[in-house]
């Protein structure tokens, strides 16, 4: 070694690759802020046999990630402080030391919020970009599409002529729920947070009626008017006062797939709502919470139906794409302000 050079300028040193990563900097109280995330630079280790080096293409941001920012036990473990956040990511293979993958394959998995990263071959699954655009595997043909399918078809069990109400209707899950309910021959009423979303649901996605929960002065009355025959299925994505009002209009033998409670994810104290049990009891209503993973064994059935409807043009999709890896926190926080229509995705 040349004694005039400092040690890290050794001509024999192999240049190590470094990349950007988002870590959880602090646990939010209430609505998360930008300061709760920190972008750091990390070195990538050498690729080992059975591993692949990936470059992130599309990152999914989802409301459930808010729960993982708390230090609380749930169905998904909490993110750790100063460790990367994780989520659904579509990535391209940059280098492979696995027989299962080759350079330029496109894969999906639960990956870190990191620009380039190494995973084992078991952690990645190939996606077929000839069948559908890669980003669809995070939305309509992925977790949110499957949530809509199983919640509605296996818990809601729609019958032609019934009335289906869906909250969070213009979001990734809701927009699919409404369209599947239409395919089943139901009357569909959506609830969403802007006039643009309301118009889109009715004009582009075939909803029979849609209610802007931010401008209606009487939610109970708006639902009663939009559902003259009452509500047979309420697909609940949001909880809170919207759900209280829908449940006031619930029919005998109605079904309520309890999918999400986004209106409560940032509350520091759970608000007191009406006692709904007498209504559920006297009207013989079924309310069932579910996590999409409950249906894992049936995923092929769900994907087959969703892909077929997409191919036939019966199930349309829409995405809100944020550009730039650095905008991951902004995109996640945007979910709580209604910034998205359809699936919220970050394109790196």
Contact positions vs ligand NDP (CB under 6 A): 62-64, 144, 147, 168, 170-174, 192-194, 197, 237-238, 242, 259-263, 290-292, 335-336, 338, 340, 344
Give dist(CA 146, CA 256) in Å, integer: 17
Nearest one of 283, 186, 288, 284 to 236, comparing CA atoms: 288
CB of 200 to ligand NDP, least distance (A): 11
91 CB-near residues (< 8 Å, 6+ apart): 54, 55, 56, 57, 106, 107, 108, 109, 111, 117, 124
CB of 216 to ligand NDP, least distance (A): 13
Give dist(CA 78, CA 108) in Å, integer: 21
CB of 311 to ligand NDP, least distance (A): 22
67 or 133, CB closer to ligand NDP? 67
CB of 64 to ligand NDP, least distance (A): 5
314: number of Cβ within 10 Å: 13
60 or 98, CB closer to ligand NDP? 60
CB of 78 to ligand NDP, least distance (A): 16
63 or 84, CB closer to ligand NDP? 63
State the DSSP H helix or E strand holding residue 307, giving kind and residue range, or none if neither. helix 299-312
173 or 315, CB closer to ligand NDP? 173
74 or 284, CB closer to ligand NDP? 74
Give dist(CA 56, CA 131) in Å, integer: 20
Q: Give me the residue whose beta carbon is nearest to ligand NDP.
A: 171
260 or 302, CB closer to ligand NDP? 260
Question: Residue 121: exposed, middle, or buried by beta-carbon count in 10 A (0-12, 13-18, 19+)?
Answer: middle
CB of 167 to ligand NDP, least distance (A): 7
Give dist(CA 347, CA 322) in Å, integer: 6
């Amino acid at each position: 070694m040349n004694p005039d050079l400092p040690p890290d300028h050794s001509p024999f040193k192999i240049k190590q690759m470094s990349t950007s990563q988002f870590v959880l900097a602090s646990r939010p109280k209430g609505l998360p802020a930008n300061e709760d995330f920190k972008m750091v630079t990390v070195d990538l280790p050498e690729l080992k046999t059975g591993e692949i080096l990936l470059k992130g293409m599309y990152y999914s941001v989802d409301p459930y990630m808010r729960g993982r920012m708390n230090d609380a036990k749930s169905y998904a473990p909490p993110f750790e402080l100063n460790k990367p956040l994780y989520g659904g990511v579509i990535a391209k293979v940059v280098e492979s030391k696995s027989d299962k993958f080759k350079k330029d394959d496109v894969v999906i998995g639960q990956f870190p919020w990191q620009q380039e990263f190494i995973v084992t071959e078991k952690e990645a699954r190939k996606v077929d970009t000839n069948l559908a655009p890669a980003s669809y595997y995070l939305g309509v043909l992925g977790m949110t599409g499957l949530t809509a399918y199983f919640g509605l078809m296996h818990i809601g069990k729609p019958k032609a002529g019934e009335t289906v109400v869906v909250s969070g209707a213009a979001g990734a899950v809701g927009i699919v729920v409404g369209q599947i309910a239409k395919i089943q021959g139901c009357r569909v009423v959506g609830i969403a947070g802007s006039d643009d979303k309301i118009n889109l649901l009715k004009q582009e996605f075939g909803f029979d009626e849609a209610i802007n929960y931010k401008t209606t002065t009487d939610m109970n009355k708006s639902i009663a008017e939009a559902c003259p025959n009452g509500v047979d299925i309420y697909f609940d994505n949001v909880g809170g006062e919207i759900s209280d009002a829908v449940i006031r209009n619930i029919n005998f033998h109605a079904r309520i797939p309890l999918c999400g409670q986004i209106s409560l994810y940032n509350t520091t104290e759970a608000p007191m709502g009406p006692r709904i049990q007498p209504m559920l009891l006297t009207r013989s209503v079924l309310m069932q919470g579910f996590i999409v993973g409950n249906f894992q064994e049936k995923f092929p059935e769900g994907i087959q139906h969703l892909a077929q409807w997409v191919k036939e043009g019966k199930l349309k999709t829409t995405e809100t794409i944020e550009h730039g890896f650095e905008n991951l926190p902004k995109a996640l926080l945007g979910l709580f302000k209604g910034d998205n229509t359809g699936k919220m995705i970050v394109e790196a």
